[in-house]
Structure 1
Amino acid sequence: MAEPLISSSAALGAYRNSQSLEKAAPEPGGGDFAKLLGEATSSGLSQARAAETVMQEGLSGQQSTQAVVEATLQLESTVKMAVSIRDKLVEAYQEIMRMPV
């Protein structure tokens, strides 16, 4: 039987990450948007760097193919999230600019 593309431990890790994101959500009316955006950006960059490290180790034979695929999929998910957030911010900015003064 072939190995699954994503291991159960990777799925469990993704689930735990999603749970921690829920807990990290700011309180209504009490959060600082710039701080939240900065933390999200630094988190995304650190995930990208970690995935790149795993990919480089995979090329040198220090990581398994499955670990490289998992890191690539996680990086893809991070990039998709960043792009969707950017799109929403641009859309909100354009909507504000269309408002009459």
Structure 2
Amino acid sequence: MTEFSSILSTSNIRGAYKSSQELTTSPVAPEPQGTGESFADVLRNAAQSTVETTRQAEAVAQQGLTGKVGAQQVVEATLELESTVKVMISMRDKVVEAYQEIIRMPI
């Protein structure tokens, strides 16, 4: 059986990890008003990034089926897509959890 780490290129792993970090990072201290992104902007950008990653992975998969790209590239694109989807699902779960906490607060 092939070693899992030998299938992936290091640069693609770093790129996927960096992309996932950008989606989950948030400032520790509140920023002054009028600067930085709003929460809605962060969610919108994360969703757009996820859609773009999905489209790229689908394009690579289609090219792989026609023989234009190798299996290695298809696997890398699929793993990057999987990582992105996991991060988005985690973000969704946190938003739902926060919403449920707010609903449970006494008025």
TMscore range, shorter length: 0.7 to 0.9
Structure 1 match to 2:87:
81
TM-fit CA distance, 1:16: 5.3
User: TM-score, normalised on structure 1?
Assistant: 0.81
How large is the Cα RMSD of the aligned pairs? 2.5
* Greater RCO structure (CA 8 Å; 6+ sep): 2
Say if 2:59 is the partner of 1:57.
no
Residue identity over aligned pairs, in percent, reads: 51
Structure 2 portions without partners, runs of 5+: none
Q: Give the letter aligned to residue 93 of structure 2.
A: D
TM-fit CA distance, 1:68: 0.3
Q: How does 1:23-62 map to 2 (within 5 A)?
A: 28-29=30-31, 30=35, 31-62=37-68
CA distance in 2, matches of 1:79, 1:18: 10
CA distance in 1, matches of 2:17, 2:87: 16
CA distance in 2, matches of 1:98, 1:25: 25
